[in-house]
Amino acid sequence: MVTIGCVKKTLYFSVFVLISICGVMVAILWPTVFRMLIEKDLTLRESSKSYRAWKHTTLPLYLDFYMFNWTNPQESLSNPNVKPIVVEVGPYVFREVHEKLNLTWNANNTVSYWQRRTWYFEPELSRGSLSDEITNVNVVAVTIATMADQIHVKYSDLVKKIINMFLKNTEKKLYIKKTVRELLFDGYDDGVLDLMKKLENLIKIPVQDRFGWFYPVSL
Ligand SMILES: *[C@@H]1O[C@H](CO)[C@@H](O)[C@H](O)[C@H]1NC(C)=O
Ligand SMILES: *[C@@H]1O[C@H](CO)[C@@H](O)[C@H](O)[C@H]1NC(C)=O
Ligand SMILES: *[C@@H]1O[C@H](CO)[C@@H](O)[C@H](O)[C@H]1NC(C)=O
């Protein structure tokens, strides 16, 4: 005879066993399931959640530039008692976007790509505009004057003479006045650079056609 009490006990026991088995299975399988979920979202695959964020930056990245405006170049150069005055201007803020292009999925679980970084000027976040004029040390002339001393090639004496003559004759000033845009990305033409470009083969140093801190990166 099967009594009600016995049925109840059996039922409780079965439920207990069932729950225990489930518990043990979850405990055993959980790491695998967890890893599957993670891999699904974090593995770099065209269908994964992380892929879009990786391919194209979604978080805003900002780059702040501060310039130093030399406000008394003539006075400080002609009179040794006058200290140069530099005034900090800016920030000129750029939003930076990273984009990965020409993706190639390799057989060895790697991916090859080109990264394109683009800068967008943010006038609202900046103080000033890209057409602000800034007086700076003439980096080109100073650099070339320094470089001329270090040229050790055939005819280096002749090359040095040409450069020195050029620096003197054009009365290359020690300072230049350029817009923020030119100083940073656009670059500007410079007579000395043109000359150096012509002498490139002789001095065996590669010369850029324009100068800008981030030239030839373009906006
Ligand atoms: C930099 O200084 C010059 C000379 O004082 C001035 O004309 C120019 O407006 C200044 N530029 C900025 C951005 O303040
Ligand atoms: C990327 O691919 C495009 C065409 O799909 C091509 O025109 C471009 O040159 C490639 N860029 C690089 C850096 O390989
Ligand atoms: C994977 O394959 C690519 C293309 O064949 C190769 O350039 C890269 O070096 C390989 N990477 C590794 C880690 O083997």
Residue 16 inside a domain? The answer is: yes
Span 20-48, mean pLDDT? 85
Residue 58 inside a domain? The answer is: no
Strand-pairing partners, residue 63, are 94
97-148, pLDDT tens digit by residue?
Answer: 888 888 888 888 888 999 888 889 999 999 999 999 999 888 888 787 777 7
- Name the residue of 101, 113, 115, 117 to mutate for ligand 2: max ligand atoms within 8 A of Cβ: 101
Residue 14 inside a domain? The answer is: yes
Residue 136 inside a domain? The answer is: no
Distance CA 41, CA 60 (A): 22
Distance CA 59, CA 144 (A): 41
Residue 145 inside a domain? The answer is: no
Distance CA 183, CA 190 (A): 12
Residue 6 inside a domain? The answer is: yes
Is 115 touching ligand 3 by the criterion CB < 6 Å?
no
CB neighbour class for 179 (10 Å; exposed up to 12, middle 13-18, buried from 19): middle
Ligand 2, atom 7, residue with closest C-alpha = 102
Ligand 2, atom 11, residue with closest C-alpha = 102
Residue 29 inside a domain? The answer is: yes
The total number of structural domains in the chain stands at 1
Residue 148 inside a domain? The answer is: no
Distance CA 125, CA 62 (A): 10
pLDDT above 70: residue 2: no
Tokens of 79: 């009179």
Span 52-61, mean pLDDT? 82
pTM for the full predicted model? 0.66
Enumerate the H helices of 110-155 as residue ranges.
139-149
Q: Which domain holds residue 35?
A: 1-42
